[in-house]
């Protein structure tokens, strides 16, 4: 157990149930609201059909969007997973909480082992969630909530698992960031047993969540619950069933299979079209799992007093990993400093809150969930903890929020081709500071969502003002930065990049067409061909 000196914790346990309804009078339920937080992994802004994808089918995610609030400028706090997840839990930007890369990534001199031959050595970073932080789960747990976690954690090894940070029950959360053994049982996970060969991991996690909600029904326990369903999907390895592959292969054919799908980025090829039928099947299965949870809430009679959140931890994988999707018109994807790497589906469904328009253009980010959910639950804000988040409840009520800076700090090279950089967005303006070249890019997102027109030379005064605000913040929180590699050899890097363009790019194009061929053989379809008992 953590040693805490916060006196407010002593007050919460006895007063929260009464305070909730007093502070949130629009919720007419006699009990505080339940919270279901659904976090997808590597699910891009354009991967949901409600947001314009014509290839992927996501009717259940769309259901949340239809009944909830859609933040069209919703962001993760980092372009890779662990930092974003830590921000949701702590209400702090990565530069402040110290986890600035995915846990397990090489940094400093160990980075040379990646064979990338880059000019900089990435900054060091924290390898676990700081126990001095009071997580969102701990606050709710202390306030009388039963807390449950299912799926991907990736915020530290044993001793820093979900149960060490405020979750009563942990089903499948450990240090790994991908599903070891794949999406079909048998998998390797010390916190999620194998029950039946061929069982799908996303469906299993949804079933565990519904079972928790049933066994901890507020009518029985007298307590609300906080269920955090953190899918491993749609992270690589991308896997699906033969039936879903066939469905989406045929769909790609109907829509017209482009002769090529990639273009070279700075370090890697970047996918330009959504037509991978294996990835599409993985997306659909995750959506089916979301549907199981929503149906469970309905059948248990809990939907009208349960807040549902859906978001992702970073952009869709357009380069690196499995090169699975395209985020166009957003530039880049997972690992990138552009909008495709950080802008996400960002949905909040509050059953007792209705609005004429459920689309909210106010920029919001992962740190905002913490204070928002506290306010919706009728709990006091903890500004000393969620220092980089604000409550979005006024925006849900149709009110204006004050303009504020959003800040990203990624002093690393992404596996997907992103560059060491820091970002600030204020209003419509976005400034990117690169550490390798020391260049800056300035975009007006209201007129250039695709980030094609660098306006630094046209508006140097805006760039200078944002640069100062960005580094005032980074320096105030003790942010770490990359450093020059004294062993850097430009010729070695150029040879590496040439091999990517000459060898990897054509291989990716060939593999794509193979997967889309009617004769494609997926082997045993990753163990998904199972005879039911």
pLDDT at residue number 347: 97
3-state SS assignment for residue 96: helix
pLDDT at residue number 433: 98
End-to-end CA gap in the chain: 43
pLDDT at residue number 285: 98
Distance CA 283, CA 286 (A): 5
Distance CA 209, CA 332 (A): 33
Sorted by sequence, the CB contacts under 8 Å of residue 133 that are 6+ apart come out as 89, 90, 92, 97, 385
CA geometry: angle 426, 363, 461, nearest 5 deg: 10
Assess whether pLDDT exceeds 50 at residue 533: no
Q: Quick one: pLDDT band at residue 406, thresholds 50, 70, 90?
A: very high
- Mind listing the pLDDT tens digit for each residue in 182-193? 999 999 999 999
Token pair of 173, please? 């959360």
- Residues 212-226 have a mean pLDDT of 95
| Residue pair 265/319 in contact by the 8 Å Cβ criterion | yes
Q: Quick one: pLDDT band at residue 30, thresholds 50, 70, 90?
A: confident
Assess whether pLDDT exceeds 80 at residue 302: yes
Q: Which long-range contacts (CB under 8 A, 24 or more apart) does 109-113 make?
A: 111/413, 112/485, 112/487
Q: Quick one: pLDDT band at residue 528, thresholds 50, 70, 90?
A: low
The percentage of the chain sitting over the pLDDT mark of 90, rounded to a whole number, equals 89
pTM: 0.93
How crowded is the C-beta side of 110, counted as CA atoms within 13 Å? 8
- Mind listing the pLDDT tens digit for each residue in 143-159? 999 999 999 999 999 99
Assess whether pLDDT exceeds 60 at residue 14: no
Share the mean pLDDT of the chain.
93
Distance CA 409, CA 20 (A): 36
Q: Which superfamily is assigned to 33-403+485-518 in CATH? A: Alkaline Phosphatase, subunit A (3.40.720.10)
29 vs 65: which has the higher pLDDT: 65
- Residues 288-304 have a mean pLDDT of 98
Secondary structure of 346-374 in the HEC alphabet?
Answer: EEEECCCCCCCCCEECCCEEHHHHHHHHH
Q: Which long-range contacts (CB under 8 A, 24 or more apart) does 423-428 make?
A: 423/337, 423/342, 423/470, 424/466, 424/467, 424/469, 424/470, 424/473, 425/363, 426/466, 426/469, 427/403
The percentage of the chain sitting over the pLDDT mark of 70, rounded to a whole number, equals 92
Q: What is the DSSP string of 377-413?
A: TT----TTTSTT----HHHHTTPPPPP--EEEEE-S-
- Residues 384-389 have a mean pLDDT of 98
Assess whether pLDDT exceeds 70 at residue 29: no
pLDDT at residue number 520: 93
Token pair of 365, please? 């980010």
Q: Quick one: pLDDT band at residue 26, thresholds 50, 70, 90?
A: low
Assess whether pLDDT exceeds 60 at residue 309: yes
- Mind listing the pLDDT tens digit for each residue in 102-129? 999 999 999 999 889 999 999 999 999 9
3-state SS assignment for residue 228: strand
Assess whether pLDDT exceeds 80 at residue 23: no
Distance CA 115, CA 415 (A): 11
pLDDT at residue number 1: 42
Distance CA 455, CA 428 (A): 13
pLDDT at residue number 527: 66
């Amino acid at each position: 157990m953590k040693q805490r000196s916060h006196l407010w914790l002593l007050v919460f346990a006895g007063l929260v149930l009464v305070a909730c309804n007093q502070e949130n009078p629009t919720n007419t339920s006699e009990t505080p609201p339940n919270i279901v937080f659904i976090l997808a992994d590597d699910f891009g802004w354009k991967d949901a059909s409600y947001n314009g994808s014509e290839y992927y089918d996501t009717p259940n995610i769309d259901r949340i969007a239809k009944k909830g609030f859609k933040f069209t400028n919703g962001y993760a706090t980092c372009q890779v997973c662990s930092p974003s997840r830590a921000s949701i839990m702590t209400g702090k930007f990565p530069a402040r909480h110290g986890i600035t890369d995915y846990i397990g990534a090489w940094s400093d001199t160990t980075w040379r082992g990646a064979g990338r031959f880059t000019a900089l050595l990435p900054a060091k970073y924290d390898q676990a969630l700081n126990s001095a932080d009071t997580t969102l789960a701990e606050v709710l747990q202390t306030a009388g909530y039963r807390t449950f976690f299912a799926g991907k954690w990736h915020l530290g090894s044993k001793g820093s698992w979900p149960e060490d940070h405020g979750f009563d029950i942990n089903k499948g959360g450990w240090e790994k960031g991908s599903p070891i053994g794949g999406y079909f049982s048998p998998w390797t996970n010390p916190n999620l047993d194998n029950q039946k060969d061929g069982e799908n991991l996303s469906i299993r996690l949804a079933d565990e969540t519904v079972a928790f909600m049933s066994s901890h029904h507020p009518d029985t326990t007298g307590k609300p619950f906080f269920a955090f369903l953190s899918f491993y999907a749609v992270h690589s390895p991308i896997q699906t069933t033969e039936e879903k592959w066939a469905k989406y292969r045929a769909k790609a054919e109907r829509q017209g299979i482009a002769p090529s799908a990639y273009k070279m980025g700075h370090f890697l090829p970047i996918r330009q079209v959504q037509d991978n039928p294996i990835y599409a099947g993985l997306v659909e299965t995750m959506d089916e799992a979301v549907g199981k949870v929503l149906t469970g809430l309905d059948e248990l009679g809990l939907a009208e007093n349960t807040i549902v959140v859906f978001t992702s931890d970073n952009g869709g994988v357009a380069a690196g990993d499995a090169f699975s999707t395209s985020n166009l018109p957003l530039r880049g994807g997972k690992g990138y400093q552009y909008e495709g790497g950080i802008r996400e589906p960002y949905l909040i469904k509050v059953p007792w809150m209705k609005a004429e328009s459920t689309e909210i253009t106010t920029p919001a980010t992962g740190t905002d969930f913490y204070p928002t959910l506290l306010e919706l639950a009728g709990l006091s804000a903890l500004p000393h903890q969620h220092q980089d988040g604000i409550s979005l409840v006024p925006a849900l009520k149709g009110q204006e929020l004050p303009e504020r800076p959003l800040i990203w700090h990624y002093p690393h090279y992404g596996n997907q081709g992103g560059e060491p950089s820091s970002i600030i967005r204020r209003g419509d303006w976005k400034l990117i500071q690169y550490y390798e070249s020391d260049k800056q890019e300035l975009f007006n997102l209201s007129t250039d969502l695709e980030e094609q027109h660098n306006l630094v030379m046209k508006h140097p005064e805006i760039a200078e003002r944002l640069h100062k605000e960005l580094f005032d913040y980074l320096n105030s929180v003790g942010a770490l930065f990359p450093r020059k590699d004294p062993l850097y050899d430009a010729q070695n890097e150029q040879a590496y990049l040439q091999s990517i363009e000459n060898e990897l790019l054509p291989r990716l194009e060939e593999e794509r067409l193979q997967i889309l061929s009617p004769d494609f053989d997926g082997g045993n379809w990753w163990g998904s061909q199972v005879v039911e008992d």
